[in-house]
Amino acid sequence: MLVKDYKKDSLEKVELVHSGTDYFFRLENIIQEAKYEIHIQYYIFENDSIGHKILEELKKAAKRTVKVFILLDGFGSLSFPEELVEELTKTGIHLRFFSPFFSLNSLYIGRRLHHKVVVADNKVVLIGGINVADKYIGSIETAPWLDYAVQINDQKMAKKLQLLCRDLFLKKKYFFKKGIESLFNSSESTVVSILQNDWLKSKNEIYNAYIKAFSHAEKEITIVGCYFLPGRRLYNAIKKAARNKVKIRLILSGKSDVPLSRRATYHIYSSLLANNIELYEWNKTILHGKAAIVDNYWTTIGSFNLNNLSSYGSLEMNVKIESISFSENFLLHLDGIIAQSSRITLKSLEKNGFVSHVKNYLSYWIARFILNFVTYFPNKKTPS
């Protein structure tokens, strides 16, 4: 969606949002229009050009007596300057870091705040997989990382999510209560749900939703996956769907900001292809999206990666949308992404040399060890 479409579509209840100017135009607009209270929760918030621009808007909001709450992850936003924290605090902005290093909570290495969530004035929500950093907006010379979000314009849902974000910021227990859902009636009934995942606190809504959707799929599954390395149950659910003659397409990273993860995923390509799963690599930019569409009806977009770190470690938040029109619109876009991607086949895999296969094999087991270590230690539960 282009920036010029924003005003035209702003009355829609649920809107697909793309990384780049689309996302950040909306984010600025939400902050500028906020009158009472705004919550910002991100894994990464860089003090670069776009980060500085967003902070300036938040400072203006604070001067308008808007209550501003910023919650950033202690590891993902480790580079956020201390002097900037002091400056923001002086303007009246409330800012804290989730599980900062050298705190008791930091012992849970893999339990990070992986949210990318904005909610304002009990009326508008912006949620997805996009962090605040220049690489997500791009420039004249460089395209943004490929990623997605959803804007929800609904008071009922925004009010509940704002309470959730407020209580998470204040370290209260509301965060672990029942999920958030709204029914929108337009030309069709659209059910939108906010799903959470925090395995340590027995919150497995996203994980279970993926398992259920894959297990009940009848026709087609399209997955956008960065850092794709699913655990046993998720992997079995995907393979079971493939055995049931469900058409499965995976859009994966041809370029990655974590080379070890990409090589680890490459190691399982032959197994995926053996199950008649179509593989496509996006090479134009770094792919950072985390989304899926099942049977042209069920869609999820958010922060949750299909790997053990998201399943058993981090705090994650996704939107689940049950809507034919939304799914078809998103699927049409993803068809265009697939058309621009490279298809991976067993024949193309054979071109890789022995050394490459060894590197992929070692990367797979190293990645598995790291994921299991950070999600198991010192947790009492054992991931599968």
CA dist list (Å): 114 to 43, 182, 304, 364 = 5, 23, 8, 23
Q: Which domains does the chain have, with CATH numbers?
A: 3-177 (3.30.870.10), 182-376 (3.30.870.10)
Task: Tell me the per-residue pLDDT of 6-52, one tens digit each, with 9 for 90 and over.
Answer: 343 434 789 999 999 999 999 999 999 999 999 999 999 999 999 99
3 and 27 Cβ atoms separated by less than 8 Å: no
CB contact set of 273 (below 8 Å; sequence gap of 6+):
279, 344, 345, 346, 349
CB contact set of 248 (below 8 Å; sequence gap of 6+):
220, 221, 222, 223, 238, 241, 242, 275, 276, 277, 278
* Structure-block tokens of residue 270: 């032959």
Q: In this predicted structure, what is the pLDDT of residue 237?
A: 97
Judged by phi (left if over 0) then psi (alpha if -120 to 50, else beta), residue 9 lies in alpha
According to DSSP, residue 105 is labeled G
48 and 77 Cβ atoms separated by less than 8 Å: no
Q: In this predicted structure, what is the pLDDT of residue 136?
A: 97
Q: In this predicted structure, what is the pLDDT of residue 378?
A: 52
Torsion of CA 17, 291, 204, 154, to 10 degrees: 20
Q: In this predicted structure, what is the pLDDT of residue 381?
A: 52
- Rounded CA-CA distance 43/71 in Å is 9
Answering whether pTM is above 0.85, one says yes
In the beta sheet, which residues pair with residue 152? Answer: 14, 125
Task: Tell me the per-residue pLDDT of 39-52, one tens digit each, with 9 for 90 and over.
Answer: 999 999 999 999 99
CB contact set of 333 (below 8 Å; sequence gap of 6+):
16
Closest CA to 230 of 246, 254, 214: 214
Low-confidence ranges of the chain (pLDDT < 50): 1-11, 382-384
151 and 26 Cβ atoms separated by less than 8 Å: yes
- Report the number of secondary-structure helices (H) and strands (E) in the chain: 14, 17
- Rounded CA-CA distance 105/266 in Å is 34
Q: In this predicted structure, what is the pLDDT of residue 133?
A: 97
Q: In this predicted structure, what is the pLDDT of residue 5?
A: 43
* Structure-block tokens of residue 54: 């967003």
According to DSSP, residue 197 is labeled E
121 and 135 Cβ atoms separated by less than 8 Å: no
Q: Count the Cβ atoms, other than its own, within 10 Å of residue 177.
A: 13
* Structure-block tokens of residue 5: 């479409």
Q: In this predicted structure, what is the pLDDT of residue 185?
A: 58
Specify the amino acid at residue 41: Q
Q: In this predicted structure, what is the pLDDT of residue 243?
A: 95
